[in-house]
Structure 1
């Protein structure tokens, strides 16, 4: 380990930075979308990325279905619809009937939206 890395480790904060919920969502979305985009990976890795994406969207659907969610009713409905689309399209992708491009496009649009709010 060189001196610069030793210094960075020594002076790094002991407590990791606190992230906002939107920043966490953005990090997860970005990671999963990158994994979906890697078509050269093995089928097992690709299938795992599809599964993780579906789980993330299911969690979002559960969150927006909660009556105490602070988002507007129309935005909550749109997110819920996207979660249903992701679930159905994911099954088609895994059966070889469709490509993951639509899933990547949905995630990319949400990533752009999170960036556009400026609160990430």
Structure 2
């Protein structure tokens, strides 16, 4: 399931109970990160699935970057800037993975840190839990 379809499902079901945006974002990061982790472990046996998982992760970060770049975004400017930087880093790292065989572990670590921040674990997210 792609990040686009996950988001569509989360927002389009009229019978679904309303959930806070942070919960929806956390769930999306958790699903994409889980798929990326499993695909990274099995990349030798199924590289196409790994490439799809990388693409879905990249799409998630591209969507997040568009959101934090919006002038109407209510997050503090410093946090928005850090998140946009992480988008740029994840894009470059994804290229390195596909072109040079670099490790995906750093992408998994970044996503996990974002999930901790969304969950509210103080001091665990990028920038020390702001």
- Per the normalisation by structure 2, the TM-score is 0.75
Per-residue Cα deviation, 1:9-66 (whole angstroms, up to 9, x for no partner): xxxxx92222222111111100111111111251111111100100110111111111
* Runs of 4+ deviating beyond 2 Å: none
Paired position in structure 2 for 1:48: 52
Structure 1 Cα separation of the partners of residues 101 and 65 of structure 2: 24
Which 5+ residue runs of structure 1 have no aligned equivalent? 1-13
Aligned residues: 105
Aligned-residue Cα RMSD (Å) equals: 1.8
Structure 1 Cα separation of the partners of residues 21 and 53 of structure 2: 21
Paired position in structure 1 for 2:29: 29
- Per the normalisation by structure 1, the TM-score is 0.81
